[in-house]
Amino acid sequence: MKNINYKISLLTLGFFGLIFSTYSCDDDEKQTVVTKFDLVMEDNFDVNGAPNPAIWTYDIGRGSQNNGWGNNELQYYTDSSDNVVVQNGYLIITAKQQALGGASYTSARLKTKNLFEQKYGRFEARIKLPLGQGLWPAFWMLGSNIDEVGWPQCGEIDIMEYLGNNPTQILGTLHGPGFSGGESISKKYSLTNSRFDNEFHVFGVEWTENYINWYVDDVLYNQITRKQVEDEGGEWVFDNSFFMILNMAVGGNLPGSPNSSTTFPQRMLVDYVRVYQ
């Protein structure tokens, strides 16, 4: 049965942000906690079948140049129910070892582009991740102006990236002009008594005019500020609306390719997506 008990500990964060900073961040980092309570969008994936078309659309294929979406990924993204379906209260993204369109794998990449976009706020999802070398699931955002200005000028906020061969660690990352790709600003978060592939966890950011906070469950583990970006020669391009993306890539520059230990199919389960302002 789907667990819909959502433990919002934002008040706790307000009182204990310094504690989180102590064991999650460097000693010299002073972080500010912001709380967002006004729910403006949620999808609890309660209706079986295709994802809600009023919220979600799809990227299809291998990228505009058939280059694995610029990362040499190995999958072909589809909107097939074999790769993306809502079932028993979850959004399920499935990566399969299946030849299609010149690729050796299929998977899915959903986005809220032109359907739900917002500037600032708290964006979060409760997700259970897969296990295996070469798997690369993510929950992230791109600037809504990407078609006009391109990437990285549009900005990218990676709420959660995960490499399937390391089930206790995720990444939170920021990309923009002067700090993109291998030069992005990133921080890792590691679990000590659990794994991301055998339990659900909440991944979120709270994004304001001057900083972005990253959370896993109730733990604030990173903050990147406008001042930090600009002091390092980058451009803060996070004052426009962004849209959300949920996907599971296979292979690519960051995780490398699957190997003989990687079994397919692999599933990424999403319990809910919620946005506050």
Q: Are 180 and 155 in contact (CB under 8 A)?
A: no
Please give the span between the terminal C-alpha atoms of the chain, in angstroms, as a whole number.
Answer: 30
The DSSP result for 197-227, as a single string, is TTS-EEEEEEE-SSEEEEEETTEEEEEEEHH
59 vs 239: CA distance, rounded Å = 25
Helix (H) or strand (E) holding 20: helix 10-24
Catalytic residue among 73, 124, 156, 206: 156
- CA-CA-CA-CA torsion for 60, 272, 226, 229, nearest 10 degrees? -50
Q: Are 184 and 219 in contact (CB under 8 A)?
A: no
Catalytic residue among 42, 73, 124, 161: 161
> Catalytic annotation on 161?
yes
> Catalytic annotation on 232?
no
Distances (CA, A) of 67 to 75, 113, 175: 10, 22, 20
Q: In this structure, which amino acid lies at residue 133?
A: Q
How many helices (H) and strands (E) would you count in the chain?
3, 17
* Beta-strand pair 39-43/57-58: unpaired
80 vs 153: CA distance, rounded Å = 32
270 vs 127: CA distance, rounded Å = 4
188 vs 25: CA distance, rounded Å = 10
- Which of 163, 157, 158, 159 is CA-nearest to residue 195? 163
Residues marked as catalytic: 156, 161
